[in-house]
Structure formats: C-alpha cells, structure tokens
Structure 1
Amino acid sequence: MDIPPRVLTVAGSDSGGGAGIQADLKTMLALGVHGMSVLTAVTAQNSLGVQGAWELPAEAVRAQYRSVVDDIGVQAVKTGMLSSAGLVETVAELLAGTDAPVVVDPVGVSKHGDPLLAASALDSVRTKLLPAATVATPNLDEVAQLTGIEVHDETGMRQAADAVLGFGPRWVLIKGGHLPGDAVDLLTDGGVELWLRATRHDNRHTHGTGCTLASAVASGLAQGLTVPAAVRTAKEYVTGAIEAGFALGAGIGPVDHGWRFRTAP
C-alpha cells in the first residue's frame, strides 16, 4: 500500500470547525496527505467570535509532538496558534530538531479580531519561531504586529516582506487579502519575487483562510513541491474554498474545505 505524505499541524482547536486544527486536517485530507496534530490550546469559538481560550501546558505539547514525530515521522510541519512565549519557545525548540520543511502561520488575531497571541510572545516569535520557518505566512495585521509596518499597497507589501525576512525565514508569503481590489499575495526569498493574484469573491464567509492556506502550503511541500509551486497550488485551492464558503450560525461562516469534492464532475 502507498503511504501518503505525512503533515503535522501544531495549533489550537476551533470548536466551530472553521479554523485551527479542524481546518488544517480538513485541508490535508482534501489535498491527499495524512494529517496529524499537536494541540496547543482549546478555544470556545463559533461564527460570532472567540468566547474563551485555554492554553495547554508546554509538557503536553512536547509529549504530543515527540509521540508523533518519533514514531510516525513527518514530511512537513505547520504551526498555528501559539499563544504564549513559553509555547512559542517550546515549539521552536522541537522544530529545530526536526528534518522537515516548516510553514509558520504567526497567528495573532482571529477573523473576528479576538487576540490569540500575547504581546509578550511577539519577541519569541521574531527570534525563535520565524528563524525555523521554511515559509512564513503573515497577513497584514500580523505584519503590523511583528514589524510595525502598516501596509496599504503593493509597495508596502515589499517593505513588509523585507522586514519579515530579516527575522530569518527562508521564504515569506505576505497575504494581501485585506487590501482593496484583487486578492494579491507576495512570495519572496529576498531574490525571487512572485506575485499571486486571484479574483476577489464577494463572499463574507472566509473564516479559516489563513490556517487553510498555510496547511495547503505544507501539504504541497510534503508532496515534494518547491516552495513557489506549493504556494501556487495552495493559492488555487484557497481561492476555490473562499468562493464556496458558506453561512454557519449568525456570523462569519467558514471556507469550504471540501469544495473540490462537491464540484467534481
């Protein structure tokens, strides 16, 4: 039997199923890899926002990670919600000893504006976590948190990319979804520069886009794609998922991780 590539997500749980660990595992299944998880936090979360969050102890995170990596192994790792400096440093230490590409989604706030990263953890993200990243995938709010740069146009995206690369990731994907016009992202390693553009879909149900994109990139890397190819493939998948996003509850619904299953002939 063929064994699918294995991808490990290190992230928080979204009880509403649209983001976090749940979105990561759905994305991995949709893209043909075997998803595994290290839970870092539990959230009470729905379409209206985050009502509560409880961080797991560092020893629980370390034990989950070692359990999976030492027995099953991984072809890529994706990180998401790491809410404290202690967790960031624990995960960065684990990543340093893992021979696999790493996608770091430096989650700072939820889709609804709820803070998911303590201000005291920002320095650890800059100095410990980002240097371990093969690809870092900040959105514009996270860029502002990490660098102080407020991005308003594509020139600002270049400046933001240079600033984030200064923290040590090999590649950075600046997500420009909050800018007007087409949905544009910038991928660069400081030399190669790729602009990825997609038509913006008029759909407010976009919960989980960041988690989904990062997991899709990690899935591509696990399958042996180059970073640019993995990001292009991930962008295509997420664009379709956003177009197919659907309403849940009274607020912002999720993207549709299974959109290809429902649109296949």
Structure 2
Amino acid sequence: MIDRTTRIMLRQTPRILSIAGTDPTGGAGIQADLKSIAANGGYGMAVVTALVAQNTLGVRSVHVPPVAFLRQQLNAVSDDVAIDAVKIGMLAQLEVITEVRSWLDDCRPPLVVLDPVMVATSGDRLLEPAAEQALRDLIPLVDLVTPNVPELAVLLAEPPAIDWAEALEQGARLSARTGATVLVKGGHLDETTCPDALVNTHGLLAHSVVEFTAPRITTRNTHGTGCSLSAAMATVQARTGDWARSLAEVKEWLQDALAHADDLEVGRGNGPIHHFHRLFARASAASALGGGMR
C-alpha cells in the first residue's frame, strides 16, 4: 500500500493527467475527463490507453495501441510537467494495466484517482476478463477508487449489492483490503434518492463513512457520468486537500450537469451530461444583460 499521509501541494489551478480511453462523441472517456477538469478549475492533460469507436448507442470496436507508445505518452508528460493529480479510467487489457502500474511506481504522482472502468453505460464490456485481478491489484496504489455498484461487486468477487446498506458494507471491505478510500455510488440502485459516500476504514477520514444524498435526476442522458465524477474529484481534491469537501462540491456540480443534460440533444441513445452548464448559463446571462444595454 502507498503512504497516504504525505500532504499534497494544493494549487488553485491544478495540473491533472487523465489516463483513459476515447469517446468520439465527447460524452465519456478522455473527452469527458478534460471537460470535467476544466469545468472544475483544473488544467487537463491526456494520455490515451485505447481508441474506442463508440457513440450514445454503444461501442462498436476498441483499438489498443502498443504499450510502448503508451509509455512514451506517459513519459512525455511527466518528464516535462509537474503533475498534481492523476485520474485513471479505461485500461482495457492486462498489458496496459501493467505499464500504467510501472509508470506510477516510477513517477509517484501525489494524488491518484481510479475509476475502474469495466462496462460502458450501453452494457458493452471495456475490460478484458483476464485483466480483472490486475485491476484489483492496482487499487492499493491509488488514493481514491470510484466503482459503481456492479464494478464494486466485481472488485470483491461478490454478487452486486441490492441496497445502499449492502453497498456501503462492500465499500468498507474493499477499503479494508486495499487501504484506499472508496467512493461508493448509488446511481445504479433503484432508489428515489441518489446517495454517494466516501468510505475509509483506516482513519483517513473524519468518519469511516461520509455520506451525501441528493434527489435522483430523471434523465436517460447519463453517458460518461462515472468518468466525469472521478476526473472532477481528482481536480477538486488537488485544490482542497479534503475528500469530504471535494465530494460535496463535485456532487453539486454533477447534479446540475445531469439536470441540464437534456438541453444538449446529443445522440439518439444515452447522451452526455452538460459539463459546462454553469459556463453556458453565465454566458447567456451576460449576453442578455449586454443586449439590454444602450
């Protein structure tokens, strides 16, 4: 396990590296990460692990570039730029996980958030079954892991939780095994509210469970929600240094992004959230104010 007692150097505009796959429609993966980082006040950088031919209806094919080129991308960033936080998303294959792990050991970024991407919103698989154990073994190297309910079950090799209480218990077991803080997400549960909780059994939080609840937003446009949440958490944590404060801030932003997702009208399937809803609102208000001036 990593030493999580070292304080990170907080920055007003943190430099965040996303290591993930692509989405040519812009709703998930690297594209969503960069939008989330910018929307939450960070400077985004990106290293591509996989080229994914997908849209709002599903995944058509995945191309994984040679891992030697992946390492060249990673070294190109870390040899030049001081990285304040890393968000890891789609890793796709065992060889990719192994290379990213090697880079983490060499580079030792101050803050790492892992979104254990296994299955897309459409149901398409994004991680080879043979790579599941390697992904589990990666968790002790990160600070925060953000699985949804099905992913949490896979990481523990258990059946999926049927309610929020069971999901929290699973989160506690994963934290106990790995040392990482687990962000347990209730979006996949059939409940009227949408709870999220930070869980850590090693005394790194004020309480072992820090829970936030918000109303569930009714929309089918949730494509890339997990990518966006994890990238935003890496960004805000690099500004605040406080996981509970970071989740409160990110959850409020994400709620608004979901509430305004239908405004975008992107695609015929599960469309993206509205990452820049606040920026658009300010621009509209400024335009309206300017139009009324003589």
TM-score (norm 2): 0.86
The structural deviation recorded for 1:149 is 3.5
The structural deviation recorded for 1:53 is 0.7
**Distance of 1:63 and 1:5 partners within structure 2:** 23
**2:75 counterpart (66, 69, 72):** 66
Contact preservation (8 Å) 1:143, 1:149: no
Partner of 2:278: 260
Partner of 1:187: 198
- Decide which structure has the larger Cα Rg and report it: 2
| Count of residue pairs the alignment pairs up | 263
Partner of 1:53: 62
Q: What are the superposed Cα offsets for residues 230-262 of structure 1, whole Å, 9 maximum, x if unpaired?
A: 222111111111111133221111000101112
**Distance of 2:267 and 2:85 partners within structure 1:** 33
Does residue 117 of structure 1 match 2:127?
A: yes
Partner of 2:289: none
Does residue 217 of structure 1 match 2:222?
A: no
Partner of 1:44: 53
The verdict on how the C-alpha distance between 1:169 and 1:104 changes in structure 2, with shifts beyond 3 A counting, is farther
The structural deviation recorded for 1:175 is 0.8
**1:88 counterpart (72, 94, 97):** 97
**2:112 counterpart (80, 102, 127):** 102
Contact preservation (8 Å) 1:149, 1:160: no
Q: What are the superposed Cα offsets for residues 100-128 of structure 1, whole Å, 9 maximum, x if unpaired?
A: 1100000010000000001111100111x
**1:76 counterpart (76, 80, 85):** 85
Partner of 2:215: 199
**2:187 counterpart (155, 177, 181):** 177
Partner of 1:240: 256
Letter in 2 for 1:212: S
The structural deviation recorded for 1:96 is 2.6
Q: What are the superposed Cα offsets for residues 4-29 of structure 1, whole Å, 9 maximum, x if unpaired?
A: 32000000000110000000001111
**Distance of 1:177 and 1:26 partners within structure 2:** 21
SS at match of 1:53: strand
Letter in 2 for 1:141: P
Letter in 2 for 1:79: I
Q: What are the superposed Cα offsets for residues 175-195 of structure 1, whole Å, 9 maximum, x if unpaired?
A: 110112201112111152111
The structural deviation recorded for 1:52 is 0.7
The verdict on how the C-alpha distance between 1:169 and 1:81 changes in structure 2, with shifts beyond 3 A counting, is farther
**Distance of 1:204 and 1:4 partners within structure 2:** 32
**Distance of 2:60 and 2:140 partners within structure 1:** 32
Long gaps (5+) in structure 1: none
Q: CA RMSD in A?
A: 1.5
Contact preservation (8 Å) 2:94, 2:134: yes
TM-score (norm 1): 0.95
Q: What are the superposed Cα offsets for residues 157-189 of structure 1, whole Å, 9 maximum, x if unpaired?
A: 122102221441421001110112201112111
SS at match of 2:22: strand
Q: Which runs of 4+ in 1 moved over 4 A?
A: none
Q: Which moved more, 1:213-222 or 1:154-163?
A: 154-163
Partner of 2:43: 34
Long gaps (5+) in structure 2: 1-10, 286-294
Does residue 150 of structure 1 match 2:160?
A: yes
